[in-house]
Amino acid sequence: MGSVFRASKTLKTRKYLFPLPSISIPFDAFGSCLRYCSHSRQNSKESAPIDLSRYPVEKIRNFSIIAHVDHGKSTLADRLLELTGTIKRGHGQPQYLDKLQVERERGITVKAQTATMFHKHKFHGCNEPLSFLLNLIDTPGHVDFSYEVSRSLAACQGALLVVDAAQGVQAQTVANFYLAFESNLTIIPVINKIDQPTADPDRVKAQLKSMFDLEPSDALLTSAKTGQGLEHVLPAVIERIPPPPGSSGSPLRMLLLDSYYDEYKGVICHVAIVDGALRKGDKISSAATGQAYEVLDVGIMHPELTPTGVLLSGQVGYVVTGMRSTKEARIGDTLYHTRTTVEPLPGFKPAKHMVFSGLYPADGSDFEALNHAIERLTCNDASVSITKESSTALGLGFRCGFLGLLHMDVFHQRLEQEYGAHVISTVPTVPYIFEYSDGSKVEVQNPAALPSNPKKRVTACWEPTVIATIIIPSEYVGPVITLCSERRGQQLEYSFIDSQRAFMKYRLPLREIVVDFYNELKSITSGYASFDYEDSEYQQSDLVKLDILLNGLPVDAMATIVHNLKAQRVGRELVDKLKKFIDRQMFEITIQAAIGSKVIARETISAMRKNVLAKCYGGDVTRKRKLLEKQKEGKKRMKRVGSVDIPQEAFHQLLKVS
């Protein structure tokens, strides 16, 4: 047989026959294909499909891991996946469930991830061990991603509350405990990192008892790093956490927990089956949109997408329905079988955006590329709000709403890393409410958009506040109280956890903490403070709009809203920083900070001048004066028509102004 096999076909249309060109295929390629196919068949025989019918509701446990940042959630999740054989030991990828580059670089969890595990457990008095299906949900710890935590807890009946044996209870430990407590979850305390030299498990047990009324005897002592004590974790999950409530005989109801976009499969929805069963090929409908879909693929995360063809009551998995956009997959939606009538599940509160910032391409011609990058990224992060806007200084761009400053920072980093976008971000702002003399109210997310109508004057202003929880070593109480007072804070609670640590609650304006409050808090407490906040109501305040003028023209991207008492200081800081970062031009540049028509701060950048007197070695002084006057007139004319270039560094520096 020859070394080349020749294939030729014809393409038939309604009217014509088009001969396709001959394709030369090396004969060795057929051997490779045959070997690949036989290898695939062999693999498919080895990995038999998972039979989920063996796991009724009584044999299912859905639990989450919650903790403060860097208390070992993701490492503990790794060890549990290894213990159950879900992933191989020494897989060479620490924090297996942290799949984003930004998560690995920063050492934080941004997206909640789900993994299904199978574990055999022998109860006391039983002869044979029983096999259980465990759904583990690894959640973020930072306050900005508490929305992810609340969604994850909705699919769980219990939670592992992980606390560092050396650091003890921290601010986000408190916040996440109450999230789980309000969801009526069974809480299992896990004291982690007991292998550290500074570990003090007894002190941490006392803190758990005094703050959360958790019994010290219920706490598990573990070290996720060395594996010490981990053999008690899964038995505790099976014995203490109840199975999910739900009826397999009822009509299908499933809760949509999360969604993301895959280039090959389309929108992949993470769901929790509350009642009934879901099978491939079923027709399902959305309670929120009313649209109907066909189930193209269904399965579990084990830990990657593993098709099973079915999901039964109490189980957590994924569904592919052919949705074209994540906007169709509304988080908290109830999905059910078409042509059935069900009561929708409670769902979640919509995400509340706390911080707003403008995003503009560094090069104005890259707007379409930035638009495409943001569309792709928001497919995998539906908690960001995006609206288009234009700025006279920066051109076309977007006004984006984020859950917090870290959320904004992570979004920017993902834009740059995953899509190569170069962006300029404006000063982050918070939403304010202004009331005018005619009784009308307007919510302002972009300070530049605040109407300045001389016929209507502002009669009242409201700004959002937060309830901040701060846990610090006792010796830093004085400096922290001073810091909170400077930021217009109101003390709500002050107590001592033990002899070494103090617990404080403050009501603070969101604008005061959104930029650099956490950095200052860490600085004055030598890094020992922990900080968490939750949004509260609006409070009335004396607010003014602060404009930045360059040569008398306002720069809308630099406008900000500040408290009247701080306007003078903030204006002075802004013009000082701009003077450092704006390059000298051929004409004089005047930088001003103004409230309405009143200028409160000013700096001047002198023009670059050519020495026009260099060629004058003598003669009458009127000749020199004439040359200087001519130069002066030229500079005036240039100032009228010239535009001031604002470097990107100037915008970054403005982020640091409180």
Cβ contact 427:399 at 8 Å: no
* Ligand-binding site membership of 67 (annotated): yes
* Ligand-binding site membership of 556 (annotated): no
Q: Please give the structure tokens belonging to residue 644.
A: 């001031």
* Ligand-binding site membership of 69 (annotated): yes
Token pair 């959320």 in the structure block, residue: 407
* Ligand-binding site membership of 516 (annotated): no
* Ligand-binding site membership of 50 (annotated): no
* Ligand-binding site membership of 68 (annotated): yes
Q: Please give the structure tokens belonging to residue 266.
A: 């389309």
* Ligand-binding site membership of 141 (annotated): yes
* Ligand-binding site membership of 193 (annotated): yes
Cβ contact 229:220 at 8 Å: yes
Alpha-helical runs (H) found in 142-297: 146-153, 171-182, 201-212, 233-240
How far is it, in rounded angstroms, from Cα 20 to Cα 1?
Answer: 24
Residue 365 corresponds to which amino acid?
Answer: S
Which distant-in-sequence residues (6+ apart) come within 8 Å of 429 by Cβ? Answer: 355, 356, 357, 445, 446, 447, 511, 560, 561
Return the closest-CA partner of residue 133 out of 60, 80, 199.
Answer: 60
* Ligand-binding site membership of 267 (annotated): no
Enter the DSSP assignment of 167.
T
Which distant-in-sequence residues (6+ apart) come within 8 Å of 133 by Cβ? Answer: 52, 55, 59, 60, 61, 116, 117, 118, 315
* Ligand-binding site membership of 183 (annotated): no
Which distant-in-sequence residues (6+ apart) come within 8 Å of 427 by Cβ? Answer: 357, 558, 560, 651, 654, 655, 657
Helix (H, G, I), strand (E, B) or coil at 235: helix
Instruction: Report which secondary-structure segment, H or E, holds 422.
Output: none
Please give the full DSSP string across 372-397, using - where no structure is assigned.
HHHHHHHHS-TT-EEEEEEETTTEEE
Specify the long-range contacts of residues 568-573, CB closer than 8 Å, at least 24 apart: 568/600, 568/601, 570/546, 570/657, 570/658, 571/546, 571/595, 571/600, 571/601, 572/600, 572/601, 573/657
* Ligand-binding site membership of 259 (annotated): no
Q: Greatest CA separation found in the chain?
A: 117
* Ligand-binding site membership of 575 (annotated): no
* Ligand-binding site membership of 114 (annotated): no
Torsional sign, CA 138, 144, 146, 147: negative
Q: Please give the structure tokens belonging to residue 108.
A: 């934080």
Binding residues for GTP, as ranges, are: 67-74, 138-142, 192-195
Binding residues, as ranges, are: 67-74, 138-142, 192-195
